[in-house]
Structure 1
């Protein structure tokens, strides 16, 4: 029996996953988490065989949460299930230690196959994303400036590129608007950009946002 912990801040989505897992032979749901703190507590208390993790949740989250989980619970494979179909984000999560990366618009059977794969100690990335990751490493701009951004800076960068206001970014990432602004200054410096318009053009040119 593969024991699964679901981590997502949308209750309806968690319920759908719970029904899918509950109806699949050889799998069982051991717990749910709606924020990063509950993820950490749940992994410590339940020691699941697989953690199904959404990247965008309140509290500790994203790539930094994956890194923390790899330190605190290296035996629990993390399977990312997200709305973000972005190659650079997938690359960063895998480098942080995620065992797999799937988007929420995929087929249910693909997710179940991914759960089985990572529970066996393997890895799983959807075929299209795997091809894009390979191409991303081979293309001429593989050493592009955005690769030097920290994971937090990259989070702020993609939110800015989508046109999200600084105050809203702060709320989503649970940091102050002043901290967001500080990150923005550093991002512009590292990328050699002069303002929001250039930042958005850069993100689109490198296909870093949808």
Structure 2
């Protein structure tokens, strides 16, 4: 039986995944974490055979965290479990040491096959990402939705999270999620770098 740990800040995702995995006969979820701080503490005490890692977390970028923990625990087998379909993010995750990259909307069977493959030390990409990586023309494409471009422009204009939320009629938590996603997509370490890259990539003017 494969020992597996999960880090994802959405409790419903964790509960659903844990149920699927625990009932599969393939693996057992031994620990679940909802942020990187508790995850670091947990990994220091016990390493799993396979580690499912979300990308957008409340206290950091899972892709950068992947590189951090692979340096500390080279034997750790990591699967990125995410909603991000962008070429650059998947490529960076694999470069940082992830063995697997699976979208959260993947079929249950594909998820379990991926866990078994990564546990054997094999690279596994869900079908959608495998096709994406094969399509070389997507290599340097970063795609932002109209809403993401709108929020990026407001950030560049100096508006606060609450001000943006009021303008677009969303909650402040929803806007924080958009801002966190923008940092990940544009590979920016802070807001200043995010704005700089936004101008360079012509997302804002």
Cα gap change, 1:172 to 1:159, in 2 (>3 Å) = farther
Pairwise CA distance, 1:39: 1.9
Is residue 15 of structure 2 the alignment partner of residue 15 of structure 1? yes
In structure 2, C-alpha distance between the alignment counterparts of 1:18 and 1:64, rounded to whole Å: 24
Aligned to 1:183: 193
Is residue 105 of structure 2 the alignment partner of residue 117 of structure 1? no
Bigger drift between 182-191 and 4-13 goes to 182-191
Aligned to 2:169: none
Judge conservation of contact 2:88–2:141 (CA < 8 Å) in 1.
no
Aligned to 1:38: 38
In structure 2, C-alpha distance between the alignment counterparts of 1:84 and 1:183, rounded to whole Å: 21
In structure 1, C-alpha distance between the alignment counterparts of 2:107 and 2:132, rounded to whole Å: 19
Name stretches of at least 5 consecutive residues in structure 2 with no aligned partner: 156-160, 162-174, 184-189
Pairwise CA distance, 1:72: 1.1
Cα gap change, 1:57 to 1:185, in 2 (>3 Å) = closer
Judge conservation of contact 2:87–2:141 (CA < 8 Å) in 1.
no
Q: Deviations over 1:123-156 (max 9, x none)?
A: 10012321221212xx3x74x497xxxxxxx9x9
Judge conservation of contact 2:2–2:26 (CA < 8 Å) in 1.
yes
Provide the alpha-carbon RMSD of the alignment: 3.0
User: Scaled by the length of structure 2, what TM-score is found?
Assistant: 0.75
In structure 2, C-alpha distance between the alignment counterparts of 1:28 and 1:110, rounded to whole Å: 17
User: Scaled by the length of structure 1, what TM-score is found?
Assistant: 0.73
In structure 2, C-alpha distance between the alignment counterparts of 1:58 and 1:186, rounded to whole Å: 23
What pairs with 1:28-107 in structure 2 (closer than 5 Å)? Answer: 28-107=28-107
In structure 2, C-alpha distance between the alignment counterparts of 1:37 and 1:50, rounded to whole Å: 19
In structure 2, C-alpha distance between the alignment counterparts of 1:172 and 1:188, rounded to whole Å: 14
Q: Deviations over 1:27-60 (max 9, x none)?
A: 1111010001122222221210011111111113
Is residue 14 of structure 2 the alignment partner of residue 4 of structure 1? no
Aligned to 1:207: none
Aligned to 1:163: 151
In structure 1, C-alpha distance between the alignment counterparts of 2:151 and 2:135, rounded to whole Å: 27
In structure 1, C-alpha distance between the alignment counterparts of 2:150 and 2:200, rounded to whole Å: 19
What number of residue pairs does the alignment pair up?
178
Q: Deviations over 1:153-175 (max 9, x none)?
A: x9x9x9954735534459748x9
